[in-house]
Amino acid sequence: MFVGLKPGGSQLATAPSQESGGMRFSYRVFRAFGIDVRVHVTFVFIVAYFAVVWGALRQPGGGWGALYGVLLVVLLFALVVIHELTHSRMAQHYGIKVKSIILLPIGGLSSMEAIPEEPRKEFVISIVGPLSNLVLGGIMVAILPAVVSWSSLSAGHLSDLLFSRSFTGAYLYVLVSNLFLGAFNLLPAFPMDGGRVFRAALAWRLGRPLATRIAVFVGQALAVAMAIAGLFFGGGILLVLVAIFIFIGAQAEGSQDPVQRVLAGLQVKQVVRPGVHVARRGQNLGEIAARLFHSYQEDFPVVGGRGDLEGILTRDRLIAMLGQHGPDYPVADAMRTDFPAVGLDDRVAYVLEKMKAGSFKAVPVVEEGRLVGMLSLEDISEVVSLLSAGGEDILRRVPSVEPPSRRPSTHAGYGSDQASEPGAETGSAGDTEPPG
Ligand SMILES: [Zn+2]
């Protein structure tokens, strides 16, 4: 019976928890190494279950039986806590904050701010949990002859001993639970520990995105096999629950690939480059080409006489048209006008799709009819690298670009044509408008 209970045993929760407590309806039991160990309210069910099984269903039962059942739950979850603390201590060693450990009926969850993307670190953090149980189990096997008398061991069948209300029974129960916790969690059923170890090992060679896809596939295949075993081959309903847990967990983490996760929360105003050079529709390609010698900007928004955005002259288009028509060809005839409409509040992930669909390397960002800046693939990939390396906390230090109306006097001091020409570095986006 005990076997089905631990499996969920030792997930590393990746999703940062909403509150400092980690999960609603959970209560702090104690604190170790700066980590709150909490018990979820549903935990009473597992305690009640053990009390009922040992108090009513097993002989000799009664009040002492119920108490013995509760003792076994406490011992069992002490092993889960050891397992989770081992994960957490290793994570802390790598500088990762661990918020809490939460005990649920199906196991424990270490809620840490992030799982490191370096395969080596994820590998180590994930594997030490199951190893802690295997080592403990191994020690218990080694000292078995010293702790338990041979006569009590040989007194009955192992399963009889395991379910007997005795010191030997409790000892064997803890021993077997340790070995089970260690072995089961090493199954490559992502996002269980073994699945993370598997993913990390793959990521060394294949890179994390592909490794994650493979691990998710294998994890979900194993979850389906567990569910079938639970439903049709006597595995029990708990195995089915664990299978569902793994299947959904794999799905959630698979779609949470770091790049996607970082992008999902990002808005254009956080990554837009406000100081851009613009081209005017009256200019010719030669003028713009000359500017390219002194600029790292490759694509130029094209503005009309009133400062309204009319198109974008991409580097590819500039080169192609220069080759075909020469330097006197007008910008207005070379620019692309099929650029996607992008505002400051749009999600970067959405814009990225639009850019890919239209083969744009950069797009102008427009707010209330005015050009406020540019967003380029380079800018996005740079931001993703920074956030992946430094954590998403960096974002809080980044000032957002505001729409022109929210800023005072957008082009004070920029009355000359200079500001509107490519090559004239503009201090802020509003200044990219020509004076009209
Ligand atoms: Zn674990």
Confidence of residue 412 (pLDDT cuts 50, 70, 90): very low
Could you give the CA distance from residue 82 to residue 391 in angstroms, rounded to a whole number? 28
Residue 429 CA, ligand 1 centroid: distance in Å: 50
**The predicted structure's pLDDT at residue 195:** 92
| DSSP assignment of 123-173 | HHHHHHHHHHHHHHHHHHHHTHHHHS-HHHHTTS-HHHHHTSSSHHHHHHH
Rounded-to-integer distance, Cα 435 and Cα 414, Å? 8
Least confident of 106-110, 306-310, 360-364, 401-405: 401-405
Banded pLDDT at 20 (limits 50, 70, 90)? very low
Distance from CA of residue 164 to its chain's centroid?
44
Distance 384 CA to ligand 1 centre (A): 29
Confidence band of 152 (pLDDT split at 50, 70, 90): low
Measure the N-to-C terminal CA separation of the chain; round to a whole number of Å.
81
Output the pLDDT for position 382: 83
Ligand 1 centroid–CA 126 distance in Å is 6
Residue 116 has pLDDT above 60, yes or no: yes
How far apart are the CA of 264 and the centre of ligand 1, in A?
28
Label residue 194 by pLDDT band (50, 70, 90): very high
Q: What is the CATH number of domain 268-432?
A: 3.10.580.10
**Does residue 130 carry a pLDDT above 90?**
yes
**How far, in Å, is the centroid of ligand 1 from the Cα of 101?**
11
Please state, as a whole number, how many other Cβ atoms lie within 10 Å of the Cβ of residue 303: 23
pLDDT at 50: 83
Please give the distance, rounded to the nearest whole angstrom, from the Cα atom of residue 39 to the centre of ligand 1. Answer: 17
Quick one: which H or E segment has residue 240? helix 237-254
Model confidence at 56, pLDDT cuts 50, 70, 90, reads confident
Measured torsion, CA atoms of residues 182, 184, 189, 194, in degrees rounded to the nearest 10: 20
C-alpha 84 to ligand 1 mean position (Å): 6
In the predicted model, what is the mean pLDDT of the chain? Answer: 78
Provide the pLDDT for residue 135. 96
- Ligand 1 centroid distance, CA of 159 (Å): 26
Q: What is the DSSP letter of 267?
A: B
Q: Rounded to the nearest whole angstrom, what is the distance from the C-alpha of residue 12 to the centroid of ligand 1?
A: 6
Could you tell me the pLDDT band of residue 430, with boundaries at 50, 70 and 90? very low
Domain boundaries, the chain: 2-186, 188-256, 268-432
Is the Cβ–Cβ distance between 10 and 193 less than 8 Å? yes
Quick one: pLDDT at residue 231? Answer: 86
Q: Measure the CA–CA gap between 32 and 37, rounded to whole angstroms.
A: 7
Instruction: Using alpha carbons, list the distances in angstroms from residue 67 to 40, 73, 83, 119.
Output: 21, 10, 24, 44
pLDDT at position 36: 86
- The rounded Å distance from CA 235 to ligand 1 centre is 22
Residues 6+ apart with CB under 8 A from 184: 6, 7, 9
Q: Cα of 50 to ligand 1 centre, how many Å?
A: 23
Give the number of other CB atoms < 10 A from CB of residue 338.
8
CA 431 to ligand 1 center in whole angstroms: 55
Rounded average pLDDT over 62-68: 85
- When pLDDT is cut at 50, 70 and 90, the band that residue 426 belongs to is very low
Q: What is the pLDDT of residues 218-230, one digit of tens each?
A: 999 999 998 998 8
Q: What is the pLDDT of residue 153?
A: 66
pLDDT at 17 over 50: no
> Residue 75 class from Cβ within 10 Å (0-12 exposed, 13-18 middle, 19+ buried)?
middle
Dihedral sign from CA coordinates of 130, 252, 222, 242: positive
The reported pLDDT for the residue numbered 224 is: 93
Among 131-135, 149-153, 259-263, 334-338, the range with the most confident prediction by mean pLDDT is 131-135
DSSP 340: P
Is residue 191 reached through a cis peptide bond, with omega within 30 degrees of 0 on the bond before it?
yes
Residue 281 pLDDT exceeds 70? yes
- Which pLDDT band, with edges at 50, 70 and 90, does 429 fall under? very low
- Ligand 1 geometric centre to CA of 130 (Å): 6
The single residue listed with the structure tokens 């309204």 is: 308
Centre of ligand 1 to C-alpha 247, Å, is: 17
